[in-house]
Amino acid sequence: MVTSRAAMASAQEEAPPLLPTPLEVRALQQPEKVVMRKNSLGRDKHEVLTDARVLILYTGGTFGMAPDAVGTLHPKSGFLEQKVKEMDEFKFGGMPKVTIIEWEDPIDSSDMSPADWGRIAQTIEEHYWDYDGFVVLQGTDTMAYTASALSFMLESLGKLVVISGAMIPLHFPHSDARRNLIMSVLCAASLEIPEVCIYSNDKLLRGNRTTKTFNMAVDAFHSPNHPVLALTGVETILEHGLILPYPRRRAFTKLHTNICVFHLVPGFDDDCITAYIEKHKRDQPGASAKAMVQLLT
């Protein structure tokens, strides 16, 4: 089928315009009450971030994968630090200073465990007073779980912790990793948000309200039941009315993992719940009150 230029132009003219997001609509309607507009660095124009310091913690995942001798992708320690040194964006005079800590044995997203969450929280606790913000890079499949866990483990957080990753490894030229990394660092250095957030595809989302909704698109993360905290584009649009207030801080690194999730479907046998609780009583006498059962309908 051959389409003429005139037909293509006509189709483009008839195409409906792209609709603004709800946050952009509110920004236009009530800019003085709802949002704080800044440039893409999150600061006033011409303001630089050379005094800001950001710690990047790389735990593994697709972000830093590199091909081996046969072309199979694996998380690789040392890869991220080398790539950051090569990136011109981090040589720009207005960029914050970054320090990179890479796990010696980076893990796949599916291997992320509560013990690893404790390890991440401990690292942030140890370096808390040395940096203005933190960026944690990991695999996307369990990123929402990590963000939610850290939001409760890092009690009374007073700095922004950004969890980010990539759907396409930084190794490839068409990767989404590059912008996710740069903007995560800029957000961590400049935005006054005392929370654990997820950054993905120009959106900063509350960590414990975010879920991965797509596996085959770079716009993989959304917060269905909570507005976006910030949009990063030509300007950074921050919905400061939703940002949590600054609290007192304390880090938790020990988690109770004896949790069972039951998905209720028609015909579900409630004896399954009873059996689980009874087994918990036998395995840990006197600890039945600690059994946690979450019913999802």
The pLDDT assigned to 282 comes to 74
113 is in an annotated binding site: no
Q: Are residues 195 and 277 in the same domain?
A: no
The verdict on 282 and 150 lying in the same domain is no
10 annotated ligand binder: no
115 is in which domain, residue-wise? 22-251
Give me the catalytic one of 21, 50, 59, 62.
62
Q: Are residues 242 and 271 in the same domain?
A: no
Can you tell me the distance from the alpha carbon of 51 to that of 53, in angstroms, rounded to the nearest whole number? Answer: 7
User: Has residue 150 been placed in a domain?
Assistant: yes
Is 132 marked within a binding site? Answer: no
Triad 79, 50, 100: Cα angle to 5°: 20
Distance CA 158, CA 237 (A): 21
**Does 125 fall in a domain?**
yes
* pLDDT at residue 38 in the model: 47
- Position 42 scores a pLDDT of 46
pLDDT of residue 6: 53
| Number of structural domains found in the chain | 2
Q: Is 62 a catalytic residue?
A: yes
The whole-number pLDDT of residue 39 equals 45
pLDDT tens, per residue, the chain with 297 residues: 444 555 444 544 554 554 555 554 554 454 443 444 444 444 554 455 668 899 999 999 989 888 888 878 888 788 888 888 899 998 887 789 999 999 999 999 889 999 999 999 999 999 999 999 999 999 999 999 999 999 999 988 999 999 999 999 888 889 999 999 999 999 999 898 999 999 999 999 999 999 999 888 888 899 999 999 999 888 888 887 888 888 766 677 777 777 777 788 888 888 888 888 787 777 766 554 444 455 444
185 lies in the same domain as 80? yes
Bridge partner list, 235: 39
Are residue 275 and residue 186 in the same domain, yes or no? no
Q: Are residues 270 and 225 in the same domain?
A: no
